[in-house]
Structure 1
Amino acid sequence: MKKEMIAPCGMNCELCIAYLAQKNDINKQGFHRTYCPGCRPRGQHCLHMANKCEKIGKGLVEFCYRCDDFPCTRLRALDKRYRTKYHMSMIENLEYIQKHGMKDFLQKEEDKWRCPECKENICCHNGLCMHCHLEVLKNNKKYCWDDSVK
């Protein structure tokens, strides 16, 4: 995993369905997903926060934890949704980076989100590996997390 794939809000873009869809070019297999190379690589500071936060939108802070308002109301709401639906916390990600550094965070993420079968990344939005479990997504295009499939 790469530092430039960690968005200011704490999202690991390498785990996002839009990034993994592009990386694996799943539209060639009958999908119609929006592709995204990640917030920073496409020149955006943060998909989730840039239009709501002037500091992020203008690139004045690299990560939300460097802001005096951390965690702000918008980030707390986003974090609650991601903890509830997607098994990850952006605030926890940012606090870990702040306390342990980016290198340790990236290693932790690799260990946590690695597919046990092929070693590729598991998607945080549905819990699926786009290599090993793409059939599950083909059969249910709105598939979202089933702990029995990993």
Structure 2
Amino acid sequence: MEEKLIAPCGMNCGVCVNHLAMVNDIRKQGFRRKYCPGCLPRGENCTFMKDSCDLLGKGLVRFCTECPDYPCRRLKALDKRYRTKYHMSMLENLECIREHGMEAFLEKEEEKWRCPGCGGTISCHNGLCLHCDLDKLRRKQTYRWDD
């Protein structure tokens, strides 16, 4: 996991299905997936929050925890959706970074999302390793956790 893949909202872009699709270059294996290098690497301060937050949109804060309105209504809603659907919490990520530092957070994430089969990375969006589980994805292109 890389620090540059942690978005200001707390999203770990390193476990995003579109980032992992790019890393594993699954188009070469017949998949039609959007590729994404991550919010910060592509010059987007935060895809989720930039339109509703001037501080993020202008790149004035590194993390939402630096904002006087933290956690705002929009971040709480985003966090609820991700906790419910994708087995991750932006707010927990941000709190872990604030309390334990980036290095400890990245180590925790590395362990949490490590594929037991190949040691690669599991996607938060579908629970699949795009190295080991491509057959599941091939059978059901819109695969979600436990489908």
Same fold at TM > 0.5: yes
Distance 1:10 1:134 in 2: 27
Distance 1:138 1:92 in 2: 32
Distance 2:137 2:59 in 1: 35
Does residue 45 of structure 1 match 2:45? yes
Does residue 128 of structure 1 match 2:128? yes
What is residue 63 of structure 1 aligned with on the other side? 63
Q: Secondary structure at 1:45's aligned position in 2?
A: coil
- Which TM-score applies when normalising by structure 2? 0.98
Count how many residue pairs are aligned between Structure 1 and Structure 2: 147
- Which TM-score applies when normalising by structure 1? 0.96
Does residue 94 of structure 1 match 2:100? no
Distance 2:25 2:94 in 1: 29
What is residue 145 of structure 1 aligned with on the other side? 145
Structure 2: runs of 5+ lacking an equivalent:
none
Distance 1:53 1:17 in 2: 25
Q: CA deviation at 1:31?
A: 1.2
What is residue 81 of structure 1 aligned with on the other side? 81
Q: Secondary structure at 2:135's aligned position in 1?
A: helix
Cα deviations by residue, 1:16-56 (Å, 9 ceiling, x for unpaired): 01100111111111211111000000011011111111100
Identity among equivalent pairs (%): 63
Cα RMSD (Å) of the superposition? 0.9
Structure 1: runs of 5+ lacking an equivalent:
none
Distance 2:50 2:120 in 1: 29
Matched residue type, 2:130: M
Which runs of at least 4 in structure 1 moved beyond 4 Å after TM superposition? none
